[in-house]
A and B are shown apart, each in its own frame.
Chain A
Amino acid sequence: DAGVTQSPTHLIKTRGQQVTLRCSPKSGHDTVSWYQQALGQGPQFIFQYYEEEERQRGNFPDRFSGHQFPNYSSELNVNALLLGDSALYLCASSFKSTGELFFGEGSRLTVL
């Protein structure tokens, strides 16, 4: 049983560029949440997708957007990258929003 898978694992971008991160949820899960984790900090909630709609959003600017596909997989897009966007981006899946959250290994983004 595959867990939550994310791609790419590492990437380097320059300021102003755009990035797309991808996530496949754990089998049987229908809800995907995205978190940003800066070094030495806890994960910060970006947004959650369920039934292909954004259901809740954290305190992140509109530069951060996402999508969920019919197979429950999800993408996180970040436009106009800033140096401060450098972080580990974690995808987590659950069954609806009430189930336990399981994390993927993350995508480490470095913005130069």
Chain B
Amino acid sequence: QKEVEQNSGPLSVPEGAIASLNCTYSDRGSQSFFWYRQYSGKSPELIMFIYSNGDKEDGRFTAQLNKASQYVSLLIRDSQPSDSATYLCAVKGTGRRALTFGSGTRLQVQP
């Protein structure tokens, strides 16, 4: 079992729709969760982080964390073609100093 799992996609949504990206993790003691966006040929860019159960909103982005289910998600409202990218979920596990990344979900927003 991978430590951090994501559906590779592509996830295709029409412009203006809500995109829902999901991630599961195996280390039940994980405390910190991050979403990064990576455009093709570029480096990952931090979008959001979440530490507590529940929702955290920042503009068009909402991160959701459910530690009991070991599940974290990212919702993108009013999706734009410029949101088309690979979204990486990253987790800081128990006793770890570094982040463990999933393989990413490719999002395509159709104009």
Contact yes or no, B98 A41, CB < 8 A: no
Q: Size class of B's contact patch?
A: 20 to 34
Which residues from 13 to 57 on chain A have a C-beta closer than 8 Å to any C-beta of chain B? 33, 35, 40-45, 48, 50, 55-56
A53 and B31 CA atoms in complex are apart in Å by 25
Nearest B residue to A35, CB-CB: B101
Q: Which of B42-50, B55-63, B70-78 contacts A (4 or more CB under 8 A)?
A: B42-50
Contact yes or no, B44 A90, CB < 8 A: yes
* Residues of the A chain whose Cβ atoms lie less than 8 Å from the Cβ of B100: 45
Expressed in whole angstroms, the minimum distance between the Cβ of B45 and any Cβ of chain A is: 7
Expressed in whole angstroms, the minimum distance between the Cβ of B11 and any Cβ of chain A is: 16
- Decide yes or no whether A86 CB sits under 8 A from chain B: no
Q: Which of B4, B44, B49, B98 has the most CB of A within 10 A?
A: B98
Q: Given the interface contacts A42-B102, A43-B88, does A90 sit within 8 Å of B43 by beta carbon?
A: yes
Q: A58-B98, A101-B99, A105-B42 known; 16 other A-B pairs, CB under 8 Å?
A: A33-B99, A35-B101, A41-B103, A41-B104, A42-B4, A42-B102, A43-B88, A45-B98, A50-B97, A56-B96, A88-B43, A90-B44, A100-B34, A101-B34, A103-B36, A105-B43
Residues of B whose CB lies within 8 Å of any CB of A are 4, 34, 36, 42-46, 49, 88, 90, 96-104
The 6 residue pairs across chains A and B that have the minimum distance between CB atoms: A42-B101, A97-B97, A103-B43, A45-B98, A56-B97, A42-B103
Residues of A whose CB lies within 8 Å of any CB of B are 33, 35, 40-45, 48, 50, 55-56, 58, 88, 90, 97, 100-106
